[in-house]
Each structure stands twice: as structure tokens, then as C-alpha cells.
Amino acid sequence: MTDILSTGHEFTTIYGRNLLAEIPAIAHRPYLVVTMPDLWEKFGHCFTGRHAGPYLVHTIDGDELEAELASIPACQSVIGLGGGQAIDVAKFIAWSRRLPLFQIPTSMSVNAAFGHRAGLRYGGHVRYVGFAVPEAVYVDFDVIAAAPPLLNRSGVCEVLCYHTAHADWRLAHDRGRTPPKWPYDQRLVDAARAVMDRVLAGLDDIHAVNEAGIRTLMNANRWGGATFHNAGWNPCHIEGTDHFVFYALEYFTGRKFLHGQPVCLGIVVGAMLHDHGADTMLAAIRRAGVDIRPEAMGIGWDDVARALAHAKDFVREAGLWYSILDEAEITPAFVDDLRGRIEAAWGPWPG
Ligand SMILES: [Zn+2]
């Protein structure tokens, strides 16, 4: 979809099969494959010809990566092969060395392949650094379909979160609390809504991880990656309470999550607090097949209750933009209501 609001581009994205086998013929040699150990084991045999070997990602700490750069083998191009981390580290290396980049996402879990910046950690905090436009993003149907179903389905979070983002941005506008650099823009909201509507119409295909579903979700995530830049690095139409709840859960539990689960939980929390479309969003998440029961993420309802109870202080300390979390009182009764709705949709956690 072309964004009428800017002259920016979405990344060239190619759908097909047997795409990894073509890399040796097209990548500038020797090429470096940036990936994870398990993925190299699975797909390493595809990367023949003159390559500089794999670079197996073991850190996403920006300072550690910077220090390691000189010892990474010399190469003429960079191939990112993975979910989020390998894709981001590939961006960082390509950016640092000014090399051509080819991205091959191995699942649909996040939209990292479609954004310019690498989400690295500095002192434990995420910072988006660099600027890398890939020659192409190769979406191989067989590679994606081989990833765990939940990993693929959970990628709907990156688009369904537009629902809460819009309610938050509208609220901030009504309260006179939008950041000065990001005044409310109905055109951005409408464009994002149109993208989200296509994902809502394709939930069954996304659940099935079939060709139509892969195209629908990846095209939506492609738009999402580009619009952040196209809108002048403005995230207000694509992210809000949904992601803030995830950040709070990560902060208060110290746990690592599959991105889409806590973000989808945050969508339901945000929609309930706004009293806007919570049942619709819960049904959509259920239909896509993303289990948002806390137990499915390895935490308990007490963890959710604690993170939500402190969410207001958390978003202020983190300096996040205005959302419903800034003004809502999250009571034990709210958490009971949330639990009731989620367990009505999925059933109580067994055991
Ligand atoms: Zn996200």
C-alpha cells in the first residue's frame, strides 16, 4: 500500500519458494550470514559458494556489538536470517560497514525485517539505532511455515495494536497531551486502520499460516515498518497501551516473552480501559490463535496484577507518550474482569 502522506517507501518484499538457494547467486561475495545457532543448523546447507561464514548472534547489546565489529570476518554483503534479533544485528553490521543487506525473516513474530533501525540494548534499555534499507526482504513460504505456529500467529500483535494506539492518541488529543512533535493526525489513523482491517479480514488464513495468511500479515507488517519512518519517526498511530503493558510486564517480572503474547494482552487491557471494542479485539486475538493467558507466557495473574497496578508510574518514569495508563485507576476488580473475559475465551488454565 502506498502511503499518500509521504514520499517514503516500503521495503522491496519478495514472496516465493526456494529463495535461500538463490542467495549465493545474488549476494556480493564473500557474504556474511547473520543468524542464530539453531537456524544455521537448519538452513546452513543452503548457503553455498564464497561466504564469510555464519555470524551467530549471541548478544544484542550495542556496546558489545560495537566492540566485536573488528573481529567479524570481512565480507561484501550481509544476509540477515532469523526472527527479530538476527535481523536487527544484520542491520547493525550492514549499517556499520556500509554494505548491501538482504533480509530473510524465518517467522512472522515481529516486524523487524521491515524497519530501518536495529532494536539494540544499551545498559539494558532498548534503543533503535542505525539506518539500513535492504536490497530486498525475502519471504519464503516454506521457511515461514516451518516456524512454530504460535510464533507466526503472534505477529498479529504488531497490527492489532493499532486499535489501542488510536484510542490513546485520540485521548491525548482530547486532553491536550499529545507530544508537540506528534499532533493527532486523522490521516495517519485512517491509513493504519485500513491496514488493520485487512488483517482482521484475514485472521483465518493467518491462523492457518497459509500463503494468503503469510502475504496478508507480512504486507501489513511491511506497512507498519515503513510508516514509522514515513511519518517522521512518529509511533502514535501504531503503538500505545498495547506495548506499554508489555514493557511493564517485562520490567516487573524480569522475564523474556514471545513479543506477541503480552502485546495482545495489552491490546485487551487498553481496549477495556478505553471501553472501546474489547470484545471485538479479544475475539480477533482468539481467532488468530494467540493464547494470552498469563500461564501460557510462564507468569501468573499476580504478576499481571502487579504490573498493571504500577503501570501508571512505570509509563511516566519511562517517559512514554500519553495513554490511558496515565489516567486509569487499575483496581483488583478490573483485573478480575480481565481474567474473566480471557478465561471465557480460552477456558481456565488446566491444572
Ligand atoms: Zn511490537
Is residue 307 within 8 A of residue 249, CB to CB? The reply is yes
Please tell me the distance from the alpha carbon of residue 163 to that of residue 261, in angstroms, as a whole number: 16
- The three grid cell numbers given for residue 264, joined into one nine-digit string: 495482545
Residuewise pLDDT in 10s, the chain (351 residues): 445 556 678 999 999 999 999 999 999 999 999 999 999 999 999 999 899 989 999 999 999 999 999 999 999 999 999 988 999 999 999 999 999 999 999 999 988 999 999 999 888 777 899 999 999 999 999 999 999 999 999 999 999 999 999 999 999 999 999 999 999 999 999 999 999 999 999 999 999 999 999 999 999 999 999 999 999 999 999 999 999 999 999 999 999 899 999 999 999 999 999 999 999 999 999 999 999 999 999 999 999 999 999 999 999 999 999 999 999 999 999 999 999 999 999 999 997
Return contacts of 252-255, CB within 8 angstroms, 24+ apart.
Answer: 252/303, 252/306, 252/307, 252/310, 252/314, 253/299, 253/303, 253/307, 255/297, 255/298, 255/299
Write the DSSP symbol of residue 61: B
55 three-state secondary structure: strand
Find cell 507480512 and name the residue. 218
DSSP letter (8 states) at residue 322: P
CATH 1.10.10.60 fits 13-145, yes or no: no
Question: Looking at domain 149-346, which of 3.30.470.20, 1.20.1090.10, 3.30.70.1350, 3.40.50.740 is its CATH number?
Answer: 1.20.1090.10
CA of residue 247 to ligand 1 center, whole Å: 10
Q: Where are the beta strands (DSSP E) in 31-100?
A: 31-35, 51-56, 77-82
Going from the Cα of 159 to the center of ligand 1, the distance in angstroms, rounded, reads 9
Closest by Cα among 221, 268, 265 to 247: 265
Report yes or no: 116 and 229 within 8 Å, Cβ to Cβ.
yes
Q: pTM for this structure?
A: 0.94
| Residue 126 to residue 235: CA distance in whole angstroms | 15
What's the 244 CA to ligand 1 centre distance in angstroms?
A: 10
Q: Could you tell me the distance, in angstroms and rounded to a whole number, from the CA of residue 156 to the centre of ligand 1? A: 9
Expressed in angstroms and rounded, the spacing between residue 263 Cα and the centre of ligand 1 is 7
Q: Where are the domains of the chain?
A: 13-145, 149-346
